[in-house]
Amino acid sequence: MTSSSKIQILRTVQQVRQWRHQSLINNQSVGFVPTMGALHQGHCSLVAQSLKENDKTIVSIFVNPSQFAPHEDLNNYPRTLDRDLEILSNQFKNKSIDAIFVPKISEMYPNGIVLEVDKQRGTFVTVHGSSEQLEGVTRPQFFRGVATIVTKLLNIVQPTRVYFGQKDAQQCVVIKNLVKDLIIPTEVRVMPTLRESNGLAMSSRNEYLSKEIKDKSSIIYKALCNGENYYNDKIINHNQNSVDSKKIIKEIYDLIKQEPDFDIEYIAVSHPETLEDLDQVTPGLGAIVSCAVKVPKENSNEKARLIDNIILQ
């Protein structure tokens, strides 16, 4: 039997519940990696971690409409199901994943779903306090959509552990708050960002970029590292007790600004748990330093929005 033939493709909530029930009976832990497909090595590292830490691993592939605004890229979001199934079937040599959940929209939104928030009907989940800033400024419905679909998926899969990538730092904070506030019995595991060899954070949206823009976009991570080096230098070599966030932001801004076609949407220094703006960064508490930058898309006048972050200790 090849590893691929052991993987069950589950299409309905009922099928996942049955699958989960079996692992409960067998007293097996379940790791869950929710995705929107267009899988890359970043997703694979989450799957690999789940395989290491759990008896069973399930991955979901679902492009969730409610986290897209009407003007965003829902219709053009990369959908590569055959390739995704191929990757999940063949990448993991030592231990195979057990199931892939690929629901239809009607399975996840039985009452249907439209993108205009004021026309939506039914139950949605909003995590107040960590959803409005940073990404929430330009994408006000994004985290409501993410929190809603993640709640549904956690209710269906009931995993022992659920895996997310640090690249989506705010999403990780929102989901940790969601799990804590709604008392959902799962452990949220956040794994480090995977990067291309030039430093660019791996993302499904990198598929919109030409090789040239991908290379140029590596400046985003270099700039974040400049900010980190500045902070470390002040703390370690100049014995400062804290560092002014504005100066860290300036280090980052000055480098990204060297790419004339890039538009900086924000650079922020935030509290690692509440995401409030920090005026000063203090060792021990540290900070999340994050940014969103719009870069030219391949063969288009539009821009793709890239996000990235680093953690200061």
**What's the min distance (Å) between Cβ of 249 and ligand PAF?**
26
Paired tokens of 85: 């199934």
The identity of residue 207, as a single letter, is E
Comparing CB distances to ligand PAF, the nearer of 20 and 139 is 139
Q: Is 251 in the site for ligand PAF (CB under 6 A)?
A: no
Between CA 220 and CA 259 the distance in angstroms is: 10
Q: Which residue is associated with the tokens 């067998």?
A: 26
What residues between 162 and 191 interact with ligand PAF by CB under 6 A?
A: 168, 171
Residues in contact with ligand PAF, counted by CB under 6 A, come to a total of 10
Rule CB under 6 A: say whether 35 interacts with ligand PAF.
yes
Residue numbers 66-105 binding ligand PAF by CB under 6 A = 67
Closer Cβ to ligand PAF, 165 or 296, answer by number: 165
Residues 6+ apart with CB under 8 A from 58: 10, 16, 19, 30, 31, 32, 33, 97, 98, 99, 100, 101, 157, 159
Smallest gap, in angstroms, from Cβ of residue 290 to ligand PAF?
15
Could you say whether residue 146 binds ligand PAF (CB under 6 A)? Answer: yes
- Quote the CA–CA distance of 46 and 28 in Å, as a whole number: 19
Residue labelled with tokens 């055959």: 82
Q: Least distance to ligand PAF from the beta carbon of 170, Å? A: 11
Helix ranges, the chain (H): 13-25, 41-53, 81-90, 105-108, 135-138, 142-157, 169-181, 211-232, 245-256
Q: Which of 23, 50, 64, 141 binds ligand PAF (CB under 6 A)?
A: 64
Known catalytic residue: 71? no
Question: Residues interacting with ligand PAF, by CB under 6 A?
Answer: 34-36, 64, 67, 146, 149-150, 168, 171
Q: Report, as residue numbers or ranges, the catalytic residues.
A: 43
